[in-house]
Structure 1
Amino acid sequence: MATAVELLDAEGVDGLKMRRLADRLGAGAMSLYWHVDNKEEVFDLALDAVLEYRGPLQADEPEDWRSDVVHLLQDWRASMLRHPWSASLLSRRALGPNILNRLELLGKILSRAGVADADLNVAIWSLWNYVMGATITRASFGLSDNDQVAAQQRLTRLSEHYPTIERSRLLLDNDWDGTFRKGLDFLLDGLSPGQNSGSG
């Protein structure tokens, strides 16, 4: 799968053709079908390969659950940013064992932290949605410094209509990692033991 990942990194999803992959492997296109059924299976395998988690987590104790969640999700985001095509595929692929392992580990950590079973799915999907949204935004919002300045200047000229985001200098804020971490803190504050009220 390493060759497929390299091709996806270089060419993106649209650039992955079975013949091109076969050429990189030094094999005939038809011989690939001895190993995979079709290109869709290549996508599934490549996506799962880049989402493998080898983190140091030992999800046995609830005391440091926040740092465990933060490490798991920061690693997940970093993995997708290293392979930007992965975020676009994740929402429409079968979930492979590596992403299922991440979700299982996340569920265990949250359960041990005191998140009730009735709230567990909401917590997991809320964190999933946050990671996916933050990653896709970061990968697609690649303005140059000059473009950022120009966009903020335009916003300043329109400040009568957009006073709040102009005042906060939204379009000049490129602390993507810090924003991700702080936003994650906001979410985790709501999941802290004693903060979530359960489903009643």
Structure 2
Amino acid sequence: MPADKQPYPSVWARPQRPRREQPPLSRQQIVAAALELLDAEGIDALSMRKLGTRLNAGATSMYTHVANKDELLELVVDEVYGEVEVPAADDPAGWRAAITRCAHSLRAAVLRHPWIVSVLGETGVAYLGPNVMRQNEAILAAFEQGGFTLEAADRALNTVVAYVIGVSTSEAAWLTTLARSGRSEQEWVESLWPAAEQAAQDYPRLRKLYAAQRNQNLSATRDDDFDSGLECILDGLAARFAPAGG
């Protein structure tokens, strides 16, 4: 079915074409090569032509599996989600521990593949990918284990994922800037500090915060901030949706 005749332009909405013989390239090979290229060179480096050259394959082999670059990105995004640790069914540690581990794993996946933040809103119906579906089903089950109704679990899922992606997007942008500069995180901040202090002169609260952060380990601070924010999110969800003592 041509891409422009599909009910929705997505690799997940397109029926798979019947194959009379084994294609020279598998979908997994194409996705793995695309992920490697994206991690090495970033989103701007990805093109079907460049990927074909990397795989030493012609366009026919590529388009057997994906109609265009957008479909390829859907597949690669779902591959990244496959790295996320999902909550185990009936985790004896409880729903909060399960969701916390999953949130940390999702953040880590985004930071390993920082290019992903630039395409999350442009990958069609990425939520139909099997790894995203598996993750979401497990998260819903974990919230239900904590006494949430299914509708409340859905709201909680959306809230936690929004928090993790929001924080990770800012972190990924920051770390990408660092990588391009060739400096360490501490070196970059030290070089910016005089300008930051000058900008905060007329803002006493910011000036006080900046002074307190002057010699902190920034990587550890980011981790602590993420933990603290996640705890606030989970506290709020528990207070709103979980039964007493849940």
TM-score by length of 1: 0.85
Partner of 2:236: 190
Partner of 1:97: 130
* Aligned match of 2:64: 34
> Structure 2 regions of 5+ residues with no counterpart?
1-30, 179-184
* C-alpha displacement of 1:62: 6.8
Quote the residue 1:123 is aligned against: 156
2: CA distance between counterparts of 1:98 and 1:189? 27
Which residue does the alignment assign to 2:170?
137
Which whole-Å CA distance do the structure 2 matches of 1:159 and 1:122 have between them?
38
Instruction: Please name the residue that 1:65 is paired with.
Output: 95
1:109-158 deviation per Cα after TM superposition (whole angstroms, max 9, x unaligned): 11211223443333222111111111111111245424323444333334
Aligned partner of 2:107: which letter? Answer: R
Q: Distance in 1 between matches of 2:83 and 2:39?
A: 19
Q: What aligned pairs does 1:170-185 form with structure 2 within 5 A after superposition?
A: 174=218, 175-185=221-231
Question: Which amino acid in structure 2 is aligned with residue 111 of structure 1?
Answer: E
TM-score (norm 2): 0.71
Deviations 1:19-65 (A, max 9, x none): 11111111113331122211111111111111114637422157521
The CA RMSD measured in Å over matched residues stands at 2.4
Q: Structure 1: give runs of 5+ residues left out of the alignment.
A: none
Count of residues paired in the alignment: 196
Q: Which residue of 1 aligns with 2:26?
A: none
Q: Distance in 2 between matches of 1:11 and 1:63?
A: 40
**Which structure's CA Rg is the greater one?**
2
Higher RCO (CA-CA < 8 Å; seq separation 6+): 1
Gap change, CA 1:54 and 1:180, over 3 Å in 2: closer
Give the equivalent residue in structure 1 for 2:188: 147
Residues in 2 aligned to 1:20 and 1:197: alpha-carbon distance in whole angstroms? 49
Identical-pair percentage = 33
Amino acid of the structure 2 residue aligned with 1:125: N
2:49 & 2:91 partners in 1: Cα distance? Answer: 49
Question: Any idea what SS the aligned residue of 1:168 has?
Answer: helix
2:67 paired with 1:21:
no
Could you tell me which residue of structure 2 aligns to residue 47 of structure 1?
A: 77
Distance 1:56 1:164 in 2: 40
Larger displacement relative to structure 2 (30-39 or 137-146): 137-146
